[in-house]
Chains A and B, each alone.
Chain A
Amino acid sequence: MLDVIRGWILGAWLFLLVACSAPPPGNTLHFWVMGREGEAVRALAVEFERRHPDIHVKVQQIPWSAAHEKLLTAFAGDALPDVIQLGNTWIPEFAALDALRPLEGGDTADMFPGLVEGSRVAGRLLALPWYVDTRLLFYRRDILARAGYERPPATWAGWRAAMARIREQAGPDQYALLLPITEWQVPVILSLQAGSGLLRDGAQWGDFRGPAFRRAFGFYLDLFRKGFAPALAEAQMSNLYQDFAQGRFAFYITGPWNIGEFQRRLPPAVWDEWETAPLPGPEGPGLSLAGGSSLAVARSSRRPQAALALIRFLAEPERQVEFHRLTGDLPTRRSAWESPLLRDAPHTGAFREQLGAVTPTPGIPEWERIAAQFAHYSEKAVRGALSEEQALTELDSAVDRILAKRRWLLARSPAGAAP
């Protein structure tokens, strides 16, 4: 009798177990997306599930501020999802962890080459570029015209001359440029434009006292020394949109997310007075960074084919255009840029032009830490707490310390144990 009851209890328990877990867990794709993109992706996933009725996509939104920690912790705990959104600069880290599955058949044919370059580690494509965040020049057309310029400058010399003219005509609280001194992106862009590789000998040492870097860093510091830009930390720029509307500065280097913000927040009086332009370079139009996000498949995924299908689906030109409509994020495929939605939109043309000249940051896992050091020392140099020479020397030795482990790994197996 007791056995019968036991049997019933066991049977009921098994039934509950099966009944509660519908749809079958074997067909669920877990997909981690950061920030606002998560909402848009839910809308796109509906179409994917219609095409693949046997796959259920489960989107998990994680905030950008905690994403990096969460992904690494998930890797350590063997709990990575099937499909991951990765900030482009994180790809080398996850490559060093061997956490990503190479994407065979990931179609990159008409993607901007600078973007694809950053997704390849040791010749293998580890992630598919999803959307771009590249920085370029936002400027006030009327202020530039008043200074005698019909077009935005395309060279460093021209830019400097334009800023000097604007500064001459400006009032006491007006500047030519707004540039937060706490960010590494703009000085890094200027260095890459000047031809510095930032690191040398196979990214084993810092190269911050090389001639190309010195030239770019001098140009950067001059922006503040000559009074073109105020030395403000990002946190001190609470009135960015108001200040831009009032003409407190004529140039601002920022990314596509600010197109929407400018349209929303600027008063109607200046709606027609701002434009975007590719970055000036030392001798002509200059490089910018291939920022943005990519999609990757975790090596631990038990459904790699379905995961790859989802990534390829999201990278289709039509999906990228739809994604742009939902989020304002810029697509990574040239064919997506042919859509009228992007072709005719104001302010995006310059981005398309700039995307032809973008380059990734050095593809090593230490980059984020190097960038943090970079921001630290360049801020000190701008503030005058360190001389230019001291800042570069200390930056070099700080970066050399960060790269010590990498040198050891390369010395141990030069064939490329480290990516």
Chain B
Amino acid sequence: MSRHALVSPGVGFVAPALILIGVFFFLPVLGALLLSFTDFDIYALGRLDRLRFVGLENYRRLLADPLFWTALRNTVYFVAVGGPLSVLASLGAALLVNHRLVRYPGLFRTLLFLPVVTTLAAVAVVWRYLYHPRHGFLNYALGLLGFAPIDWLGDPRWAMPAIILMAVWKNFGFNMVVFIAGLQSIPRRLYEAAEIDGADGFRQFRHITLPMLAPTFLFVTLVTLIGYFQLFAEPYLMTQGGPAESTLSVALLMFQEGFRWWNLGYAAAVAFVLFLIVLAGAGLESRRRRGRG
């Protein structure tokens, strides 16, 4: 230790990153937390002396707001149905693409990954056509199978399934790539040993593939869970939360309160409640997975 090294030189190396994170992440988050204890609204936007400190009032109001519970119910519906569907679709696609009988796996990987890199705004326009009650392809296909047409985005019962279907299609490619990487890291010799022991394809999948994929599963479910809880862009672009608030998500409620009505104090409270929900969801899920593994 020389007399110059009062502070570890490592601090100098991480300082730029720390300062950036501090200024652009921790400070705004702290600001938002303070904001959530005020009644910042359109009056306060005009003149700051109309701002009041209200303590936990925003949180109390939020928990009494039927709209918040509707939004929470919709979000949980989306996560509970869309999350597993999305993971299953990714796993299925990864298994197919990774199968040794598939020719040109690189081509299929790329094609299946395309929705992920496509702009959601463009995807939403195309899917609105697909969902069109009269001219849409989906209803045309249903018609061929003998089903009555569905008003996908206009019927409160079908709007959320429609959003889920689109979100799964849009997002499964990313997790698929993660699963492929996980699959390729499983040593071949395990499968060879299982074959010699006479295990069929399903048992190999059940007793080798799934356990070996456990860390990948943890990562994929956590990332999907966190991402899906923050559902915003799909309903914002497709339905604006309608019909009859059936696709209103917590994040969309936060946006509407904050930027449509400019109740920033209330919207900040929504943001922190959403953060706590995501934290709790992710914590539970990772504990469940770890406990099992």
Residues of A within 8 A of B (CB): 65, 68-69, 72-73, 75-76, 93, 96-99, 182, 233-236, 238, 365, 368-369, 379, 401, 405, 408-409, 417-418
On whether the beta carbons of A72 and B42 are closer than 8 Å, the reply is yes
Q: Is B262 an interface residue, CB under 8 A from the partner?
A: yes
On whether the beta carbons of B45 and A236 are closer than 8 Å, the reply is no
CB within 8 Å for A368 and B261 given contacts A235-B154, A408-B52: yes
- Cα-based distance from A73 to B42 in the complex (angstroms): 11
On whether the beta carbons of B50 and A409 are closer than 8 Å, the reply is yes
Quick one: which of A233, A235, A365, A408 contacts B42, CB cutoff 8 A?
A365
Bitwise, B245-288 to A at CB < 8 A (1) or not (0) is 00000000000000111100000000000000000000000000
CB within 8 Å for A233 and B243 given contacts A72-B262, A238-B151: yes
Residues of B within 8 A of A (CB): 39, 41-43, 45-47, 50, 52, 61, 133-134, 151, 153-156, 240, 242-244, 259-262
Task: For the complex formed, measure the closest distance between the CB of A90 and the CB atoms of chain B, giving whole angstroms.
Answer: 11
- Cα-based distance from A118 to B47 in the complex (angstroms): 23
Quick one: which of B50, B133, B259 contacts A73, CB cutoff 8 A?
B259
Q: Considering only CB atoms, which chain A residue lies closest to B263 in the complex?
A: A369
On whether the beta carbons of B262 and A405 are closer than 8 Å, the reply is no
On whether the beta carbons of B50 and A369 are closer than 8 Å, the reply is no
Task: For the complex formed, measure the closest distance between the CB of A224 and the CB atoms of chain B, giving whole angstroms.
Answer: 16
Complex interface: chain B residues within 8 A of A97 (CB):
42, 45-46
On whether the beta carbons of A96 and B244 are closer than 8 Å, the reply is no
List 16 additional A-B contacts (Cβ < 8 Å) besides A236-B155, A365-B42, A418-B43: A68-B260, A69-B259, A182-B244, A234-B243, A235-B151, A235-B153, A235-B154, A236-B154, A238-B134, A238-B151, A365-B43, A368-B261, A401-B61, A405-B43, A409-B50, A417-B50
Q: Considering only CB atoms, which chain A residue lies closest to B67 in the complex?
A: A376
- Cα-based distance from A413 to B153 in the complex (angstroms): 48
Complex interface: chain A residues within 8 A of B45 (CB):
72, 75-76, 97
Complex interface: chain A residues within 8 A of B154 (CB):
235-236, 238
CB within 8 Å for A65 and B240 given contacts A235-B154, A236-B151, A238-B151: yes
On whether the beta carbons of B39 and A238 are closer than 8 Å, the reply is no
18 contacts between A and B (CB under 8 A): A69-B260, A72-B262, A75-B45, A96-B43, A97-B46, A98-B46, A233-B156, A233-B243, A235-B151, A236-B243, A365-B42, A368-B261, A369-B261, A401-B61, A405-B43, A408-B52, A409-B43, A417-B50
Interface of chain A, helix or strand or loop or mixed? helix
- Cα-based distance from A211 to B45 in the complex (angstroms): 37
Q: Considering only CB atoms, which chain A residue lies closest to B256 in the complex?
A: A69
- Cα-based distance from A235 to B238 in the complex (angstroms): 13
- Cα-based distance from A405 to B243 in the complex (angstroms): 30
- Cα-based distance from A417 to B44 in the complex (angstroms): 12
Complex interface: chain B residues within 8 A of A93 (CB):
42
Complex interface: chain B residues within 8 A of A69 (CB):
259-260
Task: For the complex formed, measure the closest distance between the CB of A160 and the CB atoms of chain B, giving whole angstroms.
Answer: 28
Task: For the complex formed, measure the closest distance between the CB of B247 and the CB atoms of chain A, giving whole angstroms.
Answer: 11
- Cα-based distance from A76 to B41 in the complex (angstroms): 12
- Cα-based distance from A150 to B134 in the complex (angstroms): 37
Complex interface: chain A residues within 8 A of B244 (CB):
182, 233, 235, 379
- Cα-based distance from A65 to B47 in the complex (angstroms): 27
- Cα-based distance from A238 to B50 in the complex (angstroms): 45
Task: For the complex formed, measure the closest distance between the CB of B112 and the CB atoms of chain A, giving whole angstroms.
Answer: 32
Interface of chain B, helix or strand or loop or mixed? loop
Task: For the complex formed, measure the closest distance between the CB of B40 and the CB atoms of chain A, giving whole angstroms.
Answer: 11
Complex interface: chain A residues within 8 A of B259 (CB):
69, 72-73
Complex interface: chain A residues within 8 A of B39 (CB):
405
Quick one: which of B50, B243, B261 contacts A235, CB cutoff 8 A?
B243
Complex interface: chain A residues within 8 A of B155 (CB):
235-236
Task: For the complex formed, measure the closest distance between the CB of A274 and the CB atoms of chain B, giving whole angstroms.
Answer: 23
Complex interface: chain A residues within 8 A of B46 (CB):
96-99
- Cα-based distance from A388 to B153 in the complex (angstroms): 30
Quick one: which of B41, B133, B242 contacts A405, CB cutoff 8 A?
B41
Q: Which of B46, B153, B260 has the largest count of A CB atoms less than 10 A from its CB?
A: B46
Q: Considering only CB atoms, which chain B residue lies closest to A93 in the complex?
A: B42
Complex interface: chain B residues within 8 A of A401 (CB):
61
- Cα-based distance from A236 to B153 in the complex (angstroms): 10
Q: Considering only CB atoms, which chain B residue lies closest to A365 in the complex?
A: B42
- Cα-based distance from A90 to B166 in the complex (angstroms): 35
Complex interface: chain A residues within 8 A of B153 (CB):
235
- Cα-based distance from A405 to B47 in the complex (angstroms): 13
Q: Considering only CB atoms, which chain A residue lies closest to B133 in the complex?
A: A238
- Cα-based distance from A365 to B261 in the complex (angstroms): 10
Complex interface: chain A residues within 8 A of B43 (CB):
96, 365, 405, 409, 418
Q: Considering only CB atoms, which chain A residue lies closest to B44 in the complex?
A: A405
- Cα-based distance from A417 to B46 in the complex (angstroms): 11
Complex interface: chain B residues within 8 A of A368 (CB):
261
- Cα-based distance from A368 to B259 in the complex (angstroms): 13
The list of the 3 closest CB pairs from A to B, nearest first, reads A235-B243, A97-B46, A235-B154
- Cα-based distance from A72 to B260 in the complex (angstroms): 8
Complex interface: chain B residues within 8 A of A68 (CB):
260
Task: For the complex formed, measure the closest distance between the CB of A202 and the CB atoms of chain B, giving whole angstroms.
Answer: 16
Q: Considering only CB atoms, which chain A residue lies closest to B46 in the complex?
A: A97
- Cα-based distance from A182 to B243 in the complex (angstroms): 10
- Cα-based distance from A32 to B151 in the complex (angstroms): 35
Q: Considering only CB atoms, which chain A residue lies closest to B52 in the complex?
A: A408
Complex interface: chain A residues within 8 A of B242 (CB):
235
